[in-house]
């Protein structure tokens, strides 16, 4: 009986952080004590919730904590994914250079999928208008000597869906 | 675009990152902005309602928070909206954009782990009848700091 009780307690305790993460992916409740509301929903104290979030920030699971802006709703209509076909031995160096550019918001290396997809570096440039994004790209190409690197600009024409990621297992149907 | 006043803009400029981690974060934010806690909460509620904000909270590191990848499908224009709707219904899909390329539908598929992710992609391919290009992240070079909003450019169309 004691054994059962302690197993039960242990499994509930380990489920708590997962439940908290799942709730956090939907955003904070906009109330005076948001962490307390979350704490009540996942069976923790407010202090425990704050400690978990602090720990996830320190460990890098949480990249940032704050207002998540939908750029399109603000009028940032131009959103370009720029893809580059770089030699394998320079992709990391160029990736770091592009990531340091203020206009570049995301920069990832991804595998080529030949023959249909030769590009191995992806970066995002957001702007109020298409011309401003292309100007920013021209400047970047010039600064880093990328004139001879094959690249394509894929502007977005429509967002069919735009929302935060849902990873926690509890959210899965 | 929703009309945003100076307080809205200062909120967005100051708190895309480093939301105060304390019992009453909105009171701490209000103090820094010279506003009241009730004002900050009301503004955040309105910005979220108007879909200027998708949420207030953490951005998790995709690579550490589970499995995810960028995927693309090349679809004829006549089929596009139907296929996009099917992708949207698929579990784990968050972003889904139409882009200017033969590979015209681009989406992010997420799952709790790699095995579930691949199962979801295979199920989707079967439903769509199109091959899905799988482009997992190999390395990330940026640091996500939020994004400075060029308010001036937005005001002069």
Q: Which of B52, B99, B143 sits opposite A73 (nearest CB)?
A: B52
Clarify whether residues B90 and B67 are in a common domain.
Answer: yes
> In angstroms, how far is CA A10 from the centroid of its own chain?
32
Tally the domains of chain A. 2
Chain A nearest-CA residue for B89: A161
Clarify whether residues A75 and A48 are in a common domain.
Answer: no
Q: Is the peptide bond before A115 cis (omega within 30 degrees of 0)?
A: yes
Residues of A within 8 A of B117 (CB-CB) are none
- pLDDT at res. B57: 96
Among A47, A67, A87, identify where a domain stops: A67
Q: Is B134 exposed, middle or buried (0-12, 13-18, 19+ CB in 10 A)?
A: middle
Higher-pLDDT residue of A162, B137: B137
Tokens of B44: 């955040």
Binary contact (B60, A165; C-beta < 8 A): yes
Alpha-carbon gap, residue A49 to B49, rounded angstroms = 26
For residue A32, the enclosing domain spans 7-67
pLDDT tens for chain B, 157 residues: list them. Answer: 558 999 999 999 999 988 999 999 999 999 999 999 999 999 999 999 998 999 999 988 766 767 889 999 999 999 999 999 999 999 999 889 999 999 999 999 989 899 999 999 999 999 999 999 999 999 989 766 667 777 877 765 4
What does pTM read for this prediction?
0.74
Residue B122 C-alpha, separation from nearest chain A C-alpha, in angstroms: 17
- pLDDT at res. B2: 58
Q: Which of A21, A69, A122 sits opposite B12 (nearest CB)?
A: A69
Mean pLDDT of chain A: 86
Q: Which of B55, B61, B64 sits opposite A164 (nearest CB)?
A: B55
Binary contact (A108, B45; C-beta < 8 A): no
Q: Does A60 touch chain B (CB under 8 A)?
A: yes
Clarify whether residues A143 and A77 are in a common domain.
Answer: yes
Alpha-carbon gap, residue B71 to A122, rounded angstroms = 13
- pLDDT at res. B17: 87
- Specify if B95 maps to a domain: yes
Residue A9 C-alpha, separation from nearest chain B C-alpha, in angstroms: 24
Contact criterion met (CB below 8 Å) for B11 and B44: yes
Q: Residue A4 pLDDT more than 50?
A: no
Average pLDDT score over residue span A34-48: 95
- Specify if B142 maps to a domain: no
Clarify whether residues B36 and B89 are in a common domain.
Answer: no
Residues of B within 8 A of A61 (CB-CB) are 60-61, 64-65
Clarify whether residues A76 and A93 are in a common domain.
Answer: yes
Residues of B within 8 A of A96 (CB-CB) are 141
Binary contact (B23, A105; C-beta < 8 A): no
For residue B97, the enclosing domain spans 62-135
A69-126 confidence digits (pLDDT tens): 888 788 888 989 999 999 999 999 999 999 999 889 889 999 999 999 999 999 999 8
Residues of A within 8 A of B12 (CB-CB) are 67, 69
> Which residues, in sequence order, are bridge partners of residue A65?
B58
Q: Which of A24, A30, A35 sits opposite B45 (nearest CB)?
A: A30
A16-37 confidence digits (pLDDT tens): 888 999 899 999 999 999 999 9
Binary contact (B142, A106; C-beta < 8 A): yes
- Specify if A161 maps to a domain: no
Half-sphere exposure of A56 (CA within 13 A, CB side): 24
B105: left (phi over 0), alpha (psi -120 to 50) or beta: beta
Clarify whether residues B87 and B46 are in a common domain.
Answer: no
Residues of A within 8 A of B41 (CB-CB) are 30-32
Contact criterion met (CB below 8 Å) for B94 and A163: yes
Tally the domains of chain B. 2
A54-71 confidence digits (pLDDT tens): 999 998 889 899 999 888
Q: Which of A24, A117, A132 sits opposite B57 (nearest CB)?
A: A24
């Amino acid at each position: 009986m004691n054994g059962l009780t302690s197993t039960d307690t242990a499994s509930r305790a380990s489920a708590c952080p997962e439940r908290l993460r799942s709730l956090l992916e939907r955003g904070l409740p906009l109330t005076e004590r948001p962490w307390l509301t979350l704490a009540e929903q996942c069976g923790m104290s407010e202090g425990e919730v704050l400690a978990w979030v602090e720990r996830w920030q320190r460990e890098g699971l949480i990249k940032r904590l704050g207002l998540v802006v939908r750029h399109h709703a603000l009028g940032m209509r131009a959103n370009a994914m720029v893809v580059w076909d770089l030699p394998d031995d320079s992709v990391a160096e160029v990736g770091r250079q592009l990531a340091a550019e203020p206009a570049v918001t995301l920069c990832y290396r991804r595998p080529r999928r030949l023959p249909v997809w030769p590009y191995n570096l992806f970066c995002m440039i957001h702007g109020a208008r298409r011309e401003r994004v292309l100007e920013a790209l021209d400047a970047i190409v010039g600064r880093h000597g990328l004139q001879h690197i094959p690249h394509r600009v894929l502007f977005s024409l429509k967002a069919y869906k735009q929302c935060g990621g849902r990873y926690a297992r509890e959210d899965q149907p | 675009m929703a009309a945003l006043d100076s307080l809205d803009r200062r909120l967005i400029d100051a708190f895309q990152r480093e939301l105060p981690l304390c019992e009453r974060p909105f009171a701490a934010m209000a103090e820094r902005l010279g506003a009241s806690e009730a004002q900050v909460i009301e503004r955040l509620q309105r910005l979220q309602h108007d879909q200027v904000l998708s949420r207030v909270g953490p951005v998790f590191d995709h690579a550490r928070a589970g499995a995810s990848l960028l995927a693309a499908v090349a679809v004829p224009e006549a089929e596009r909206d139907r296929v996009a709707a099917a992708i949207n219904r698929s579990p784990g899909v968050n972003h889904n954009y139409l882009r200017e390329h033969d590979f015209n539908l681009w989406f992010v598929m997420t799952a709790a782990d790699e095995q579930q992710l691949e199962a979801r992609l295979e199920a989707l391919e079967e439903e769509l009848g199109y091959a899905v290009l799988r482009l997992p992240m190999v390395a990330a070079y940026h640091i996500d700091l939020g994004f400075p909003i060029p308010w001036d450019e937005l005001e002069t169309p």
